[in-house]
Amino acid sequence: MSRAGERVFIQGGAGRIETVVDRPQGRPRGIALVAHPHPLHGGTLDNKVVQTLAKALVELGYVSLRPNFRGVGASEGVHDEGRGETEDLLLVAAHARKDLGELPLALAGFSFGAAVQTQVAQRTAPERVVLVGVAVGRFPSETVPADTIVIHGERDDTIPLSKVLDWARPQDLPVIVVPGADHFFHLRLNLIKSIVKNSWRS
């Protein structure tokens, strides 16, 4: 990755949004917006699953943007139960397209961030969506595009696999289950990266 970890501040609905930008080598094929877990439970843009998603997408040729949600790190505002967070992600995507051009947009998120990305997907035309440990049942989770990559841990005690299957079943949406993985994919981050990269259309 070149210019890895560039930190920028984007104007959001509740003040500035701290965002880390990672750029691929060469000309980018798209923009990837990566969302972190719940702010009130320690979620930040530095979360290991979020960093893993960003690395995979950069290696696939995308410029990755990892914003901190409201009230996290140097981002201003207070937690808004996913509503303001959705608006802020849309603003970050608009900023990236203004800066980089009208490149295809990929959405990725972990836990709360994945649930928020289901909202963002309803209001954009994403090229691809990746949801890891999506927090269905705790926050509104919309239907998603048919080719969405959904990854969940077999032993997730935070968001039980059964709830994700209940959400995915009416959509005929496949779910990739990582055997033995907990919610945070301890010791299995490499599998997330491999799944994303191997599932991507070249």
Domain extents for the chain?
Answer: 2-199
- Give me the chain's average pLDDT, please: 95
Check whether 2 has a pLDDT greater than 80: no
Residue of 100, 152, 104 whose CA lies nearest to 130: 152
Residue range 144-161: mean pLDDT, rounded = 97
Structure tokens at 109: 């998120």
Residue range 10-34: mean pLDDT, rounded = 96
Check whether 134 has a pLDDT greater than 70: yes
* Helix runs in the chain, H state only: 48-59, 83-100, 112-122, 161-168, 189-199
- pTM of the entire structure? 0.95
The top-level CATH class assigned to 2-199 is: alpha beta
Residue of 198, 196, 195 whose CA lies nearest to 179: 195
Q: Are 196 and 57 contacting, i.e. CB atoms less than 8 angstroms apart? A: yes
Q: What is the SS3 assignment for 131? A: strand
The pLDDT tens digits for 78-109 are 999 999 999 999 999 999 999 999 999 999 99
